Structure 1
Amino acid sequence: MKRLSSSIFGVWLPLAAVPAFALLLSFSLIRMLDVESDMRVDAEQNMLWVLHQAEVAALRLTSTIALAEAGAASTDDVALRFDILQSRISLLHAGPQHRFIEQIHFTDTLDQLSRTLDSLAPEIGAFTPNAGPGLRSRLAPFARRLGQAANVAMITEWDDLGGRLEAQRTQLHQAMASLAGIMVAGAVLTVTLVQALRQSHRRNRMLRRERDFSALLIASSGEGILAVDNDGRCTLWNPAMVDITGKSESQATGETLANIANFFTTPAVHQGVARALAGSASQLTLQPLFPPGCATALYVDLHAFPMRDDGTILGAILLLHDASDRHAAQQKEALHRDQLEELVTERTRELNSALQRERSAAELYRNFAAMVSHQFRTPLAVADSALQRLVRRGKRAPAEEIAERAERARRAIAGLTRLVDSTLDAARLDAGQIGARRQRCSVAAIVETVCERQRETTPERQIVLEHAIATSATAFCDPAHVEQILENLLSNAAKYAPHKAPITVRIHADSARLICDVHHDGAPIAFQDRERVFERNYRGVNSAGIAGTGIGLFMAQTLARMQGGELHLQPADQGVTFRLTLPRYAGAMT
């Protein structure tokens, strides 16, 4: 019960007194301002005087008209008095005067008088003594009605003045009551302030005792504890910091952290201390610290916290914990993990290599079957043609023809044998079993052989061979593969060249390569097909109705690249040109 009473009188009562003090003071000020405002008399609101002046102006205009009838006043005097009356009536239509006219319900009468004045304006401008009686009769209501309005204005203003005085009296009473309340609230706050000062003295004594106890805890703590002020100078250095850094308390206190140890100048630690001084806590783990004269680093965990007093940052406190054992354990764990990752990587590499070899073998077997079905057709066709002619001639064939036909069949079969050997070697090469079988070859001789063979297969086609270099020029290549590449190119040209259009084979060279171009004047390959013409099983838009498998050019380019060469489709506006390039044999002469 005592604690509850202390709480009410020590906390809640002062808290209630403060807003009450502010509210009462504000209320008193508002009431005094209201009184001051009511005491002012607005000149523009003295309507009794304004209406009386309008009434006088109307009477003077009437008397001036009467004098003008008798010849005692001039027409200008009448016009002047009319203008004065008109200005008085216009004043009643402006601003606060008009609002007052509305308040006393004189608006309709005032509008009627204004219209009457407007209708009298032409007669006043052309005034004659004979018009005087009519003008005076029409001006007669002005004085009467303006006098009535002045009486109502006088009564209204007196009523308003009385109401204002009564309101001012009430406001003064309220202001005095508020001042009394302010005095009570001030007394409560004064008593509270005195009690707060007494409690502050007691708490200061308790804080000093707690500070002494905290200093004892810091001195006996196993963690390194230090404190710095806003300038970065050390203000606290416990014995554990002496063990960690080798610096005594007298050497550290009052010095900047950079002068105490290089550990505090490292970017991570410097930024952590800066964040703490800026008001944000930070944590750093396993930071290396080299004590003086020690080559082995200690690894410490650093925690930095801002020190505040009522929101003001006074400095920062840093806690250092020796985590060398944990660092050693993590290093050992990382080493084991790296060894395991290396083992897994090596096993994965071996498995991927085995899988790649398996895929390559499967792909090469498919390529081999496709090549056999595609490439073996030409030599078999040559051998079959020669043998068919021998069978048809029978005994009638002379010995020379039999020998010549048999020799053609043997050459075709020999080429077929070479093709089998080269294809198998290519499969072994891609599988990583053997190297390429390249040797010094006469490209001109291979081209002549392939051209002669193609003439026998397609006698209706004219094949023109052009030499731009010496026929003795040699290349470093696989002759069987070169032969099959040229057979594919000539066979492809024979399919797509226009009827009776020649097929041109041109051999030329540069400093590093031997070049063989196979050209025909057929329609250029469509733009959308040029990028895909060497893809496996791809056939362009111009192949409709022409027999083929779509692997000839793919195999030709593959065989060219296997021996260090290349096969390209040359850009051309007319005709189609495929270019085979092969590396020249070292020391060859053009």
Structure 2
Amino acid sequence: MTVRRGVLAYPFSLAAILIFTGLLVFALWRLWSTEAALRTQAGDNMLWAIAQAQVATQQLDITLAQERLEEADADALALRYDVLLSRLTLLEDGPQRRYLADLGHFETIHALAERVYARENAFLSAGVRAGDAGEPLHELLAELAREIGRAANRAMVAQWNETGAQLDKQHGAIMQVIATVIVILAIGAFISWRMLAAVHAEQRAQMSLLREQEIREAYRSFVALVSHQFRTPLSVIDASMQRILRAGDLMPRAEIRQRAGRVRETVKGLTDLMQATLDSMKLEAGRIEVKKTECDIAAELETARKRQLDASPGRTIHVDTGSEVPARITTDALLFQQIVGNLLANALIYSPQTEPVTVRVRADSSRIRIAVEDRGIGIPEEEKDRLFQPFFRASTAAKVNGVGMGLHLSRRLARMLGGDLTFESRQGFGSTFTLALSL
């Protein structure tokens, strides 16, 4: 469960980092688009009011001319005049007045407006029907329009200057925010890296702890096994030697030969135990190197077969090779021999003397499979999951000499060669171990 949590921490951490980064990038994009939008905003109520006053002045002048030509009536003239009065009143009131004063145009516009107010009757009666007593209305309106136009131009320049200053200030503020977000991104990236490193370190620690527990369990099993495997053979050797020493010259030569043979078998068992232990230590330390070359599959199998028959005379090993099997494969011949030899030795040990062992070789487009079949004692169903663990021996093999390392080493070597070792077994019916290698 602890290892699973460590493994799941990676995708959850990565998802959190992606969400965090996505939100910050989105914030950057929104800030940048807002800054661009601010630069496109233009206009101001003040500029609009001045422009409207200029338009109203020009429209009154046009309507005045039309009325004289009898193309406009008195109502249209009164309407245009009222509009001009409302626009002038707007300019002379509140913030507009202060704004015009700052521009230096209020006094002039105010004086012209007063002259317009003073000629109200003349405007409404079209200059007392074109008599234009006193100052001509057209010239008064033209002068007012020119002054308002000059004020509008200066207001526009001032507005653009002010807007530019505001935009520069806003741009600076936004750039500061963007810089802050970039710093946050950098800090977030650093924190994310540290978090992933911590998760990775925790996972490695958990895996190391699990590995240590496995090694500790294997060590306990090894100690128990060695204690049993060494004590019994040494007892046999000691008993045989004591018997020979006590009997002296009185012991028949045949009995001496028999006891010497038993001692040799016992010593061989101890040697096998030490060799298996050394092989396991080399494998764990990574001192076994894979050296692949082209090998004749039939010749390698025949070599392994003869070696086992030499060690177990009187036994039978059949080799059945399919026609689809290639003549040569690329692998490490030494490790291949060790795996196949181990499987054949186990098949001979755990099956009756009268039963043959069969090696079936088959291949497809990508893999070659070497299955070693025996008709031996088989493996209990509840013990199958532990079969490849170091120093494990099935309960059905309690009466057979062994150290429980052969299958563990064989599977590890098979995987070093880029393949795998699997098995099928039924208790009381035998087992089939299959070595699969890539072609």
Query: TM-score interval w.r.t. the shorter chain?
Result: 0.3 to 0.5
The structure whose residues are more often helix, as a share, is: 2
TM-score norm. by structure 1 comes to 0.31
Larger radius of gyration: 1
TM-score norm. by structure 2 comes to 0.41
